[in-house]
């Protein structure tokens, strides 16, 4: 009988395999895997889901990830977002911006300040934060919430 850790490890292996081999029906398999994420090790599961945005399927398929991510607490979501943010800014800028907006609730200015603090704590200096703000301005989202709380 599999234990919960083995179940989570197997799920991660399957996610990585479907991301690597985007062949026939891979989007359907990916969708099924995302909606059947294990309920153990939530931080590892959320980290894995975030990593899929580095090699995304089309946005309609990735919406499943966003839907699933909305079910996790903001603290877990933010920890994963902050970890992967530099890579997203290098490879998938639109997702870096879109994922800043936590899908589980409307972010308050205080929530945005906490995310900003976590970014600064995790990444030495302010370059990542500067890059994020620059991209928000470039995409003309600096007047929209929650991004305006960061760029104000």
How far is residue 21 from each of residues 27, 36, 48, 76, measured CA to CA in Å? 10, 19, 16, 28
Q: Is the pTM of this model over 0.85?
A: yes
**Which two structure tokens, joined as six digits, stand for 41?**
């090790």
For residue range 100-129, what is the model confidence (pLDDT) as tens digits?
999 989 999 999 999 999 999 999 778 999
H helical segments located in the chain: 4-20, 26-35, 42-51, 59-69, 74-91, 93-98, 109-122, 127-138, 147-151
Where exactly are the structural domains of the chain?
1-72, 74-152
> If you average pLDDT over residues 143-150, what whole number do you get?
91
Environment class of 143 (CB within 10 Å of its CB; exposed 0-12, middle 13-18, buried 19+) = exposed
Q: Which pLDDT band, with edges at 50, 70 and 90, does 14 fall under? A: very high
């Amino acid at each position: 009988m599999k234990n919960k850790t083995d179940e989570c490890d197997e799920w991660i292996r399957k996610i990585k395999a479907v991301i690597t081999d985007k062949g026939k029906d891979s989007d359907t398999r990916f969708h099924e895997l995302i909606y059947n994420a294990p309920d153990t090790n939530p931080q590892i599961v959320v980290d894995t889901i975030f990593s899929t945005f580095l090699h995304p399927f089309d946005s309609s398929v990735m919406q499943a990830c966003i839907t699933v991510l909305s079910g996790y607490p903001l603290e877990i979501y933010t920890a994963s977002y902050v970890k992967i943010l530099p890579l997203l800014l290098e490879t998938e800028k639109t997702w870096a911006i879109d994922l800043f907006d936590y899908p589980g609730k409307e972010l308050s200015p205080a929530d945005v300040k906490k995310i900003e603090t976590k970014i600064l704590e995790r990444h030495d200096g302010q370059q990542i934060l500067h890059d994020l703000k620059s991209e928000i301005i470039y995409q003309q989202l600096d007047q929209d919430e929650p991004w305006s709380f960061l760029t104000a």
